[in-house]
Amino acid sequence: MIRNVAAVVGEQAAAFELGVACQVFGLDRAGDDLPVYDFAVCAPSPGAVRSTSGFSLQVDHGLERLAAADLITIPAWPQLDQAGPPQLLEALRTAVARGSKVLSVCTGAFLLAEAGLLDGRRAATHWQFTDLLAARYPKVRVDREVLYVEDGPILTSAGAAAGIDACLHVVRREHGAATANALARRMVVPAHRSGGQAQFIEMPVPEVRTNYELSGLIDWMQAHLDHPMTAESLAARAAMSTRTFARRFKAVTGTTAHRWLLDQRLQLAEELLETTDLPVDAVATRAGFGSADTLRHHFGARRGVGPAAHRRTFRSDGHQGG
């Protein structure tokens, strides 16, 4: 269980990305019945640290703070033209070896790659830097499109807002969908964007009619997840050919209709398992999977555990359901 979180900055701090870590892990939201973490910002050289936005912040903790952290966040690393501090690279390797998880945002992946922690692993970074990351660290399996990717104890994410998605993913893993959704509402951000969603979408301004139709269709899909849906039926509802619908849906959402539906149905199944006593077969029907076996298959493939195990982990009131 993650209880202790440290954010690491270097000679400069990326203001927005550091703010993301502070928002998710560094605020006391006990009054909202949300998790509270022992959070601190640390640096190889504590003291005044200049931000990339022109102001300075006071960092009180050195790298010894990493020894207690269950999760270490690297909220971007602006010093790409400099070697990482050797003592920081060693501290990161030591932390992972003892079982700590690490989360990077944007160019924070470069520091992890320099430490050798991404060798042989899939990794994400901001789309502007994917080619540089791949060229500089050929042992890293750079995924150029995704918002975030988790490979073992390392979670890397793309630029800025993708860091919010990655942090909420950690909260969802640790505390369940209901808690992550409540935190997202508190932060006024989308509750869940799949890590596999494209981070960069070339989308010219659409015709008003097309944009309206897809917005209305997506709202309808969200409200009718228990209904059977095929590419053909969705295209017909949108008054498009199947090929045109597939192209426009991906242009608007960054993913395919099939994957979007699967993500939404899994999220609904999580919420139902955590907040109701519905038997697993009823959850499967309500979430649009049709049968408990189908739900178990997709839930296990995506979450790593079955629906019943997820319920046992995240139900807080002692009720287990069927």
Task: Select which of 22, 42, 106, 167 is catalytic.
Answer: 106
Q: How far is CA 178 from CA 13, 271, 276, in A?
A: 32, 6, 11
What are the backbone angles phi and psi of residue 89, rounded to the nearest 5°?
-60, -45
Can you tell me which residue has the tokens 């301004």? Answer: 205
42 catalytically annotated: no
C-alpha dist (Å) from residue 262 to 60, 197, 287: 44, 12, 10
DSSP 67: G
Comparing CA positions, the residue from 25, 45, 44 lying closest to residue 35 is: 25
Q: How many CB atoms lie within 10 A of CB 161?
A: 18
**What is the distance between the alpha carbons of residues 291 and 154, in angstroms, rounded to a whole number?**
34
Which residue reads 């077969």 in tokens?
Answer: 281
Query: What's the rounded Cα separation, in Å, for the pair 115 and 85?
Result: 10
Q: Which SS3 state, helix, strand or coil, does residue 320 take? A: coil
Quick one: tokens of 204? Answer: 């010219």
Rounded Cα distance, 28 and 20, in Å: 14
Active site residue ranges: 106
